[in-house]
């Protein structure tokens, strides 16, 4: 079937709302086939919201759908395609390359020229295409041969080229709430294309599954399917079965992507705000998701200088010791040292005076002339240098208490400048 999706023959255009096979995974069988079945994203699909006209058949511009996994990006694209009645071609950035892109684009141009029909091209995981591959879409989007709907879990600002981004409307999808996931799970338990009453599960168990899914509908339905497979026929789901199905929670995290930076930002800002409890939470969440403790230690050292600074100079020593402790102990024992340093920073008095002062000094270095070091501040290590005036007028502060006030240590153009 994958080959069909990427063929250039118009006969292979797919039905966006075609039902899934009976033996498909539960998440695929439960994919909504109408807007009435679509759960969540009310800020987009509700009456008068940004996609309400498009879902009524008036899709007129290309879209980038940005959101975490399992929030309805593919389903929303299929609903938009069905309402628009345009030729629908789904395309995977994982499975295809530049050659397939060019074939699909050529076919879209041919069909528009011959039949006047525009192609709605859905590109899943568009962030996986490189710059050259994304460039291939531009002329066809510009001419109107295609309407592009790209789906991505990564920040489009970083992963989609500016020229393409400027030709599309970016729509942000949110994780589903626990209540929305519970509603979805109830539907799956009862629907004929779902579990059709084969499993008996109470609201408390549904909420546990929803909480474990972290806003991801696909994950929630997969967990429900696992629970149903473990539960004996005709019996209610027990806490033991639920625990076995859920096992250890796997957190959404990408150590080189936006979530990595979101979490370290949350940790840093919680420390800066002296919120020791929130700081511990974000630290625990990063480490549970697999973040390198050495990276966390380096960031704590930075916080000690940037946000605590001279208000408590010992904070830097605490963080250096925590970093060394983690290096020696590793996981999991070394995490306690990181937690200790995190709480110390959160509780410590705060000062960003050094951070600001260094920034001002760096700006002066960038914006002003690099004047020569004044002669009185230079060391005269040869007779020639002495004859040239090196060291002349220098006053030794240990023996001359007035030197600190009387002697200028700046170059002439910055004389009297203050950073602190």
**Which two structure tokens, joined as six digits, stand for 410?**
């700046």
- Length of the chain (residues): 420
**Which two structure tokens, joined as six digits, stand for 378?**
């230079």
The dihedral through the CA atoms of 154, 155, 161, 164 has a sign that is positive
Q: How does pLDDT run across 298-349, given as a tens digit for each residue?
A: 999 999 999 999 999 999 999 999 999 999 998 889 999 999 999 999 999 9
CATH number given to 2-172:
3.40.50.300
Q: How does pLDDT run across 47-104, given as a tens digit for each residue?
A: 889 999 999 988 989 999 999 999 999 999 999 999 887 888 888 777 767 777 778 8
Report CA Rg, the chain: 31
In this structure, what are the phi and psi dihedrals at residue 260, rounded to the nearest 5 degrees? -55, -50
What architecture is the 258-347 domain classified under in CATH? Up-down Bundle (1.20)
Q: State in words which class domain 178-246 has.
A: mainly alpha
pLDDT at 143: 85
Smallest CA-to-CA distance from 35 within 61, 13, 16, 14 is with 16
Q: Identify how many contiguous H helices and E strands the chain contains and give both numbers.
A: 22, 5
Assess contact for 195 and 234: CB atoms under 8 A: no
Judged by phi (left if over 0) then psi (alpha if -120 to 50, else beta), residue 379 lies in: beta
Name the residue with tokens 């704590």.
Answer: 300
- Domain borders along the chain are 2-172, 178-246, 258-347, 370-414
Distance CA 175, CA 188 (A): 19
Give strand ranges (E) for 222-310: none
């Amino acid at each position: 079937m994958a080959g069909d999706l990427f063929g250039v023959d118009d006969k292979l255009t797919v039905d966006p709302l075609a039902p899934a096979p009976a033996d498909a995974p539960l998440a695929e069988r439960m994919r909504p086939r109408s807007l009435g079945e679509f759960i969540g994203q009310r800020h987009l699909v509700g009456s008068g919201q940004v996609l309400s006209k498009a879902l009524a058949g008036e899709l007129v511009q290309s879209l980038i759908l940005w959101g975490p996994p399992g929030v309805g990006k593919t389903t929303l694209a299929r609903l938009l395609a069905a309402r628009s009645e345009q030729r629908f071609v789904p395309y995977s950035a994982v499975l295809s390359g530049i050659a397939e892109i060019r074939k699909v684009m050529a076919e879209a141009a041919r069909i528009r020229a011959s039949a006047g029909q525009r192609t709605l091209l859905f590109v899943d995981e568009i962030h996986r295409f490189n710059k050259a591959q994304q460039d291939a879409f531009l002329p066809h989007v510009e001419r109107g041969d295609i309407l592009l709907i790209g789906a991505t879990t990564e920040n489009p600002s970083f992963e989609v080229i500016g020229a393409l981004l400027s030709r599309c409307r970016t729509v942000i999808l949110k994780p589903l709430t626990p209540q929305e996931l519970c509603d979805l799970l109830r539907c799956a338990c009862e629907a004929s294309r779902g579990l059709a009453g084969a499993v008996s599960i109470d609201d408390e168990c549904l909420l546990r599954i929803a909480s474990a899914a972290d806003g991801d509908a696909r994950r929630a339905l997969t967990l429900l399917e696992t629970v149903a497979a473990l539960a004996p026929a005709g019996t209610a789901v027990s806490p033991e079965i639920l625990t076995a199905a859920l096992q250890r929670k796997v957190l959404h995290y990408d150590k080189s992507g936006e979530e990595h930076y979101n979490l370290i930002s949350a940790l840093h800002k919680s420390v800066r705000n002296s919120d020791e409890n929130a700081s511990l939470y974000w630290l625990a969440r990063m480490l549970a998701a697999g973040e390198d403790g050495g990276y966390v230690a380096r960031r704590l050292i930075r916080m000690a200088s940037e946000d605590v600074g001279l208000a408590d100079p010992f904070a830097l020593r605490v963080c250096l010791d925590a970093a060394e402790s983690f290096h020696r102990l590793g996981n999991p024992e070394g995490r306690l040292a990181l937690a200790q340093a995190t709480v110390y920073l959160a509780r410590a008095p705060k000062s960003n005076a050094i951070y600001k002062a260094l920034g001002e000094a760096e700006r002066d270095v960038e914006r002003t002339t690099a004047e020569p070091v004044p002669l009185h501040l230079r060391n005269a290590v040869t007779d020639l240098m002495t004859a040239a005036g090196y060291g002349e007028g220098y006053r030794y502060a240990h023996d001359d208490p007035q030197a600190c006030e009387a002697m200028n240590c700046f170059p002439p153009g910055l004389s009297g400048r203050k950073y602190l």
